[in-house]
Chains A and B, each alone.
Chain A
């Protein structure tokens, strides 16, 4: 009986944190040396010891190899986006521990980190560092899928793929072929890249087959990369129930209902035409509605190909040279559709050539393409080997769900941190549907929209800031709705939100501060001072009390 009670209460206890409030993850404990060491010192040291590493590179090439990767990684650690000593990192390392139970030496060589980045990606570096983005973890369905991706990345390290890639590039450079044509050079290196990815899949699969994990999950992990960031992962918000804007008549609102742009047209038949304000104003989920009906006209459908190191400012040469990535495949399906449809005019040989060129282009554009052919190879292995059934979860399914939720909550924090206020608000509002009483989510939604309102005039309304990776029409509609509002309506919306949330969470002091700030911006000086005065009275030891006092002076 006690055991039964324990099994019922433990998972519920682990989710209790999310129902009431949430505290974002912070670094704790000792800061590891990787976060603090000098890339310069490390590069020079490695250069001195290069003979031990059997790189088969000249001194000059070795210097380039060490320096570029060390500086790129150093920047990642110093950007503050890498977690340490936290639940997420601990979890991913536990999965690695299971995967490498028979190879403790390799496990010791690896340093696995989780990053705050919302881009669905993982990467492996030459020194054994593996980075998992929260943007990838949040889309996974099982621990075994995580294990496969981990095995894939570990293979990149074991097989020294970054070194092979570097050598290959140097060899192309030395040959002097295509020196002045970057595309030709990329095409030349593509063959090697393709082989490396397939090798990582195959060896990764071998690793998974020797582990207790379900090998079939490798297929679903690869298939999943096809869909991350697409319609299936977006949720339409019920705007009428979330916002009060007296000066706006929601019923007569006709947001983003213009003709589809030709180059981005993805509407399907009659149903697309029926896409109406009613649809996204009533907040139907994708699974509650025709999948295609979320497609609207002028909602911006621009895909943003966010790189792995997205916080950094630049695209310095060689920044990403050392990475072997496992990101989402973005272009393949569209390319396939176009290829299949064809025009029916070209001769067959020409069509093949065009298809081949398109495939090459897709490969170049996507950081990790050809999912279809990789799935086929993995399927072949499964068919021929007929492995014993494994398990989807070895640690705990409830723990996995908790980790996924953590990544979703952390995404809100990340988007807010990188000024993607509209996206942060969206993610918070979506999570609020599941956790309607979560204080943190209410604060983040209000905070994000406050700062959006503060900066929106400087953006020229539409927002030129990085909004994170493309994630489907529901987000486009959300942005479109915000763009539709003028500054007064936006401020009114935020003020109402702050008042409503303030009543729901009277202990949340920041809501009151934001209200004071917003009223000041709205030129309601008296009301603003009242809000600040109320803050000082109600929260004499609050985190913002100094600020409030300054405003009253």
Chain B
């Protein structure tokens, strides 16, 4: 599996012990399937993703609170009043600071920068959410997501199969997919993005490859320490 990774972190950020992940999302755009099935499959994958995130965070030694609309109770108005706008801000601030945390097309996947770097100046968001640190017992709020484009098997594979049937049989099991895992973590008390990462890989997101990708992300986050 070919993985390209772009990550950046704020080396001055304090150690991360606990994070709140707001509405992790999975978008599977399988062009072979009908629109309604794409929604249903994405929904199912989202549940798997949420589970994997929780497990990986635990393995990396980070306590994670996962919030999404379906897990809410009728008195969770805070989610709509504060957390959803915060989520929009986290994604938006990274987007505005020219970080490609958005749905990729094949061309934008290529545009990702596969380098590690430390922020020269961390992207900022408003400090209006700093009170949430007291509500959830941590200043760290994150957005996690996966987006994947799955396309039909390329024509040349069928051609190879006809010409060299036994040797190329393996290609039949090769999925023609491009995926992106993205995350951004902010410290609501400083209003700074402390960590962000985009990772693209040529495979579908599955319960087999997601654990290693998400664990690696949490492990890096865990290592961030104040100088």
B55 contacts chain A at the CB level, 8 A cutoff: no
Residues of B within 8 A of A550 (CB): 189-190
**Closest B-chain residue to A413, C-beta based?**
B85
Given contacts A29-B77, A31-B80, A80 and B23 within 8 Å (CB-CB): no
- Bound form: Cα–Cα A19–B124 in Å: 32
**Closest B-chain residue to A418, C-beta based?**
B88
CB distance from B191 to the nearest CB of A (A): 6
Is B76 in contact with A31, judged by CB distance below 8 angstroms? yes
Residues of B within 8 A of A63 (CB): 36
The stretch that binds B, out of A35-43, A134-142, A238-246, A338-346, is A35-43
- Bound form: Cα–Cα A322–B69 in Å: 23
- Bound form: Cα–Cα A37–B103 in Å: 25
Main secondary structure of the interface of A (DSSP, over half): helix
B117 contacts chain A at the CB level, 8 A cutoff: no
**Closest A-chain residue to B124, C-beta based?**
A454
Given contacts A80-B85, A419-B92, A547-B191, A35 and B80 within 8 Å (CB-CB): yes
A539 contacts chain B at the CB level, 8 A cutoff: no
Residues of B within 8 A of A546 (CB): 127, 130, 133, 189
- Bound form: Cα–Cα A32–B133 in Å: 26
Residues of B within 8 A of A547 (CB): 127, 130, 189-191
CB distance from B167 to the nearest CB of A (A): 37
Given contacts A31-B75, A79-B84, A550-B189, A544 and B130 within 8 Å (CB-CB): yes
Within 8 A of B (CB), among A405-461: 417-419, 447, 451, 454-455, 458-459
Report the count of interface residues on A (CB-CB < 8 A).
Answer: 48
Is A313 in contact with B103, judged by CB distance below 8 angstroms? yes
Within 8 A of B (CB), among A8-60: 26-33, 35-40, 43
- Bound form: Cα–Cα A40–B103 in Å: 22
Is A30 in contact with B74, judged by CB distance below 8 angstroms? yes
Within 8 A of A (CB), among B107-128: 124, 126-128
The stretch that binds B, out of A64-72, A119-127, A476-484, is A64-72
Residues of A within 8 A of B23 (CB): 78
**Closest B-chain residue to A546, C-beta based?**
B189
A392 contacts chain B at the CB level, 8 A cutoff: no
CB distance from A466 to the nearest CB of B (A): 11
Is A36 in contact with B72, judged by CB distance below 8 angstroms? yes
Extra inter-chain contacts (10) besides given A32-B74, A313-B103, CB under 8 Å: A31-B73, A36-B72, A36-B74, A37-B70, A78-B69, A80-B80, A311-B88, A318-B36, A544-B127, A546-B130
| Chain A to chain B contacts (Cβ below 8 Å), 28 pairs | A27-B80, A27-B81, A29-B77, A31-B72, A31-B76, A33-B74, A36-B70, A37-B70, A64-B34, A77-B69, A78-B23, A78-B69, A79-B84, A80-B84, A317-B35, A318-B36, A417-B85, A419-B92, A455-B96, A455-B97, A510-B128, A517-B124, A543-B127, A543-B131, A546-B127, A547-B127, A547-B130, A547-B190
Q: Which residues of A contact B (CB under 8 A)?
A: 26-33, 35-40, 43, 63-64, 67-68, 71, 77-80, 311, 313-314, 316-318, 417-419, 447, 451, 454-455, 458-459, 465, 510, 513, 517, 543-544, 546-547, 550
